[in-house]
Structures are given as structure tokens and as C-alpha cells.
Amino acid sequence: NARSETRTDDNEATTETTPGPANVTPLRRAPQQVNEMQEILTVHPRQYKDAKEIAGAFRDEIPVIINLSQMTDSDARRLIDFAAGLTQGLNGKIERVTTKVYLLSPESVTVSGSRESEHDTDSSVFNH
């Protein structure tokens, strides 16, 4: 709104308010940029020390599929605990795909069609 002051013959000031442009909020949001995912890393770790490769890829925002079928139960449990901390620390997600397979997805990646709740690290995967 614009204000203007006018003087009358009696030297009195009168103030007039003229409508200006209203504050308008657009109804449409700007289009979100789609992150073009070009790589998914699949890892078949044999030992806990293989976590370094998983962490490096995940830090680079590459989704990682971890197949634990070649690990001992104790190392697999340690690796999943590590992966859960990694995803939590970098705002990602960890999801169990099958009994021995987990998906680590970075914050920039959306996974649809999930049957399990996010951050499911059910230890029943180790009961064989």
C-alpha cells in the first residue's frame, strides 16, 4: 500500500492510502530436481572389515545392497549394527529386503513399495 499526503486550503494534512500490489503466494511449488541415480552397489561381505567399502559408497550417496549370506552370524550382526549407525548418521535408511539382504538408501534416494518399517534391524535374520 502506498501512502500520500495532501494539503487542503486550511493547511490540514490528509493522508490517503492507495492500494498497492498484494503479497501473493504461488499455488505451485517449483519442480523438485530429480536425482538421477546411476549406480547401486551390491556387496557380498565376507568379514566385518568389508564395511569400509560400504561406508565409502554410502557417503558418496550411492545406494548399497548388502548380502550377508557369506558372513558368520556374529560378523553379520556387527555389520548391520555398523550400517544402521551409518544410515542414521547420514540421514539415510536401512531396510531388510530378505533374511540376509539389506538395502541402505541415502537421503537423496526414495524407495517405494517397502513392506517393512524403516530402520528395521530385526535380529531374527541371525536365527538359523
What's the CA gap between 68 and 46, in Å, rounded?
8
Which CATH number belongs to the domain containing residue 77 in this structure?
3.30.110.150
pLDDT tens for the chain, 128 residues long, are 555 566 666 666 666 666 666 676 656 555 555 556 578 899 999 999 999 999 999 999 999 999 999 999 999 999 999 999 999 999 999 999 998 999 999 988 877 775 554 444 443 333 33
CB 104 within 8 A of CB 84: no
Show the domain range for 47. 41-108
Asked, for residue 87, whether it belongs to a domain, the answer is: yes
What's the CA gap between 107 and 123, in Å, rounded?
24
Q: Domains in the chain: how many in total? A: 1
Question: Would you say the pTM of this structure is higher than 0.95?
Answer: no
Asked, for residue 117, whether it belongs to a domain, the answer is: no
